[in-house]
Structure 1
Amino acid sequence: MPTVDEIARDAEDVVTSPSDETVRELAETMRDENVGSVVVIEDGEPVGIVTDRDITVRGVAKENDPDNTTAGDVMTGDLVVVNAHDEITELIETLDAAGVRRMPVVDGDEIAGIVTLDDIAVLLAVELDGIAEEMTSLSNVIRSGSPPY
């Protein structure tokens, strides 16, 4: 089974912001970058994550002013991360335990990427396709070596 860094998006693909960025700026960044989350960085380290759902639920639904509400106000601050060298099974267990769909990937204290449930779904689809091909090959071998009745 591959490790997290083999399926995660690279650090260059992680959209980040400082904690004082406004909700409006975050929403515009998500729109412009076509992403559903922004990792909040302070002193070079990830300290939180803001998702499009956070903006909706913690920002808009609470009728906060998007020009005066910040990333720090709406972010999930107890950031759960996964190590770049962890196995995929550890990633899945961590995602499940945390109840999240996106998770920053770290190597030491630095952001190494981000991984989502979509990335895992793609990996599983590829793995299942490989298994299906192997089963077809095995089935052909069994048929060719078996008597007709």
Structure 2
Amino acid sequence: MVRRVREVMTELPLGVGPGTAVQQVATVMRDENIGAVLVLEGGRLRGLVTDRDLTVRILADGGDVTGRTVGEACSGDLVAVAPDDDVDRAVHLMRSKELRRLPVVDDGRPVGIVALSDLVVERDPDSVLEDVGAATPDP
């Protein structure tokens, strides 16, 4: 039986505007134990910002992060899937584009996000990634 993305995605992921301060987003990521936030303009997906984006595109520059926004840090070249796409399509896109997360978009509006760990657990329910994903980060 073909599984659909909607069956493995996280529904209603956190979304922020492109002018949101990176420090605010990093705090939310820490507090909510998430690694990615959608960047939205007018309810439409503009980008995706990950914890790695914040590190590589903002913190690695050094200096004060005051005034830096997620619009500066987000990945703008987006690849997305639809909720009714089969899981194999998501796997193929993640492999071919070397992605860890894919926004799920329905009629131009974000409805979810699917992470590499979601797909691994889908394919191997006994995967160690299920435990790692559920772990609380160190203080």
Larger Rg over CA atoms: 1
**Counterpart in 1 of 2:22?**
23
Aligned partner of 1:108: which letter? D
- Equivalent in the alignment of 2:108: 109
Deviation at 1:112? Answer: 1.4
Residue 5 of structure 1 contacts residue 85 of structure 1 at CA under 8 Å; is this kept in 2?
yes
Provide the rounded CA distance (Å) in 2 between the counterparts of 1:66 and 1:36. 19
Shift of 1:116: 0.4
* In structure 1, C-alpha distance between the alignment counterparts of 2:70 and 2:27, rounded to whole Å: 13
> How does 1:1-149 map onto structure 2 within 5 Å?
1-11=2-12, 14-126=13-125
Task: Return the offset for 1:65.
Answer: 2.7
SS in 2 for 1:86: coil
Distance of aligned partners of 1:23 and 1:64 in 2 relative to their CA distance in 1, 3 Å threshold: farther
The offset of 1:64, in angstroms, is 4.9
Cα displacement (A) at 1:126: 3.4
Distance 1:26 1:126 in 2: 31
Q: What is the RMSD of the two structures over their aligned residues, measured on CA atoms?
A: 1.6
The offset of 1:18, in angstroms, is 0.4
CA contact (8 A) 1:59 1:65 kept: no
- Report SS of the residue matched to 2:105: strand
User: Any unmatched runs of 5+ in structure 1?
Assistant: 129-149
By how many angstroms is 1:17 displaced?
A: 0.7
TM-score, length-scaled by structure 2: 0.85
Percent same amino acid among aligned pairs? 36
Residues 40 and 71, structure 1, Cα contact 8 Å, conserved in 2: yes
Corresponding residue for 1:139?
A: none
Give 3-state SS (helix, strand or coil) of 2:112's partner: strand
Q: Where do 5+ consecutive residues of structure 2 fail to align?
A: 128-139
Larger % of helix: which?
Answer: 1
Count residues with an aligned counterpart: 126
Aligned residue identity for 1:41: L
